[in-house]
Structure 1
């Protein structure tokens, strides 16, 4: 599980104060792939309590997938940054232009990751900034404010916005310090990473990863397909699994309707 290392109780953690200097070496405590913890983080940022993060225990068994509340609005995959993946990433990105999109007409809101070990919260930002989940972000909340400020900024400016957003840093620190396992240091080397898949209103399945050159369209889904549909799984997380022959440290969580 990405960033899934023991965490100290949240009550014991000192309040996080982000370094807002332009040249600050930013780093976050890695976020445990823990659905209740991630749900609490999203709710604290301003996502409605009618949405929650859920474990996805299988990508291939229909009976197990049936336990996930639908429609699934976003899927976060935790995967090992292996040699096979890095070769694939470099080769696929070689001919891509560096994304510079911004403004209300861009097809998807994408954030470049410049904060060390922040891939978990980056995945949650991508999950809630795009697709139907955006409608569940409360007006005037800290997340709503962050996303509205981000829309008109180009990717470098968006990265600076995330690096200096105190509300995001504080909420993330509380969540990352309160998992089931002891939290690693923010500057530890973590070889597991989050990527987010979302379906936008036009049916496009997007792969959103702040380590890439930009958002990647993986194809058009049918009108009744969500991110756990057969096509979405084939084009998304199952493609990651197919590239690996040895390291199978994979897990998934999905953003969807709350069970409460």
Structure 2
């Protein structure tokens, strides 16, 4: 069994619900799950060129998983916000208090999502702010500056930081407009969502989603396991797939060593 307990006690706070109003004050153009596009966005923000985003074409076939460069530092799952998922989310979060952690002692750096349709860039932020990928964020770069400013803020402060970070907004807009498909409007209703899985140094597999009440520990992985290991896939993306019986609009990308 995996441990699904929040990582820290929370102070009393209003429950978080994303701002889905058409006139939401902050909105991004949805980001395609496109590895070259995402890689370019990360490099622009300050991630080293030795790191890249890669397609994951199968979660169950070893021959297909072998094409992904390892170790995989983070896994981003794109999934439909279905009735089954919403029931699961509400039920699982019902017994949790809203996370209010901050400071350098946190096991992970977690961001609340308050920007409409920003779940793609939120996934990339969680992927690079935590686990081994943090070591590949260049000193003094826009992403390094953002993450360092975020550390001592509570989740509300971090959300405001993201809402006002001009470098993040500009880099995201440039990437979102270059997708392979016609970019939707920032105010459109999008029923696909990103969640990030990372493995921290102590072996914990974390589910990081700004739409939840906080970071979620999904269990302890072995010393040789990365986010594409059998246990990580079972506790992470395969659990999402198991809840769905009809809607199979799922895709995955992984952050790992560049092939260049």
Q: Paired residue for 1:196?
A: 196
Give the CA deviation at 1:198: 0.1
Q: Contact 1:15 / 1:170 at 8 angstroms: preserved in 2?
A: no
- The SS at the match of 2:101 is coil
Q: Paired residue for 2:101?
A: 101
Change (3 A) 1:57 1:99: same
Change (3 A) 1:23 1:64: closer
Give the CA deviation at 1:15: 34
Question: Unmatched 5+ residue regions in structure 2?
Answer: none
Query: Structure 2: how far apart are the matches of 1:184 and 1:134?
Result: 31
* Aligned structure 1 segments of 4 or more residues deviating by more than 6 angstroms: 1-24
Give RMSD over aligned pairs. Answer: 9.3
Question: Unmatched 5+ residue regions in structure 1?
Answer: none
Query: Structure 1: how far apart are the matches of 2:254 and 2:224?
Result: 17
| CA deviation profile, 1:168-224 (whole Å, cap 9, x unmatched) | 000000000001011000000000000000000000000000000000000000000
Query: Structure 1: how far apart are the matches of 2:156 and 2:237?
Result: 28
Query: Structure 1: how far apart are the matches of 2:183 and 2:5?
Result: 6
Give the CA deviation at 1:9: 46
Query: Structure 2: how far apart are the matches of 1:217 and 1:175?
Result: 31
Under a length normalisation based on structure 1, what TM-score does the superposition of the two structures give?
0.91
| CA deviation profile, 1:6-38 (whole Å, cap 9, x unmatched) | 999999999999999999700000000000000
Give the CA deviation at 1:97: 1.3
Query: Structure 1: how far apart are the matches of 2:152 and 2:12?
Result: 38
Query: Structure 2: how far apart are the matches of 1:15 and 1:191?
Result: 21
Change (3 A) 1:16 1:188: farther
Under a length normalisation based on structure 2, what TM-score does the superposition of the two structures give?
0.91
Q: Paired residue for 1:154?
A: 154
Query: Structure 1: how far apart are the matches of 2:75 and 2:185?
Result: 26
Q: Contact 2:208 / 2:215 at 8 angstroms: preserved in 1?
A: yes
Query: Structure 2: how far apart are the matches of 1:3 and 1:188?
Result: 36
Q: How does 1:169-248 map to 2 (within 5 A)?
A: 169-248=169-248
Give the CA deviation at 1:258: 0.1
Q: Contact 1:29 / 1:185 at 8 angstroms: preserved in 2?
A: yes
Aligned residues: 260
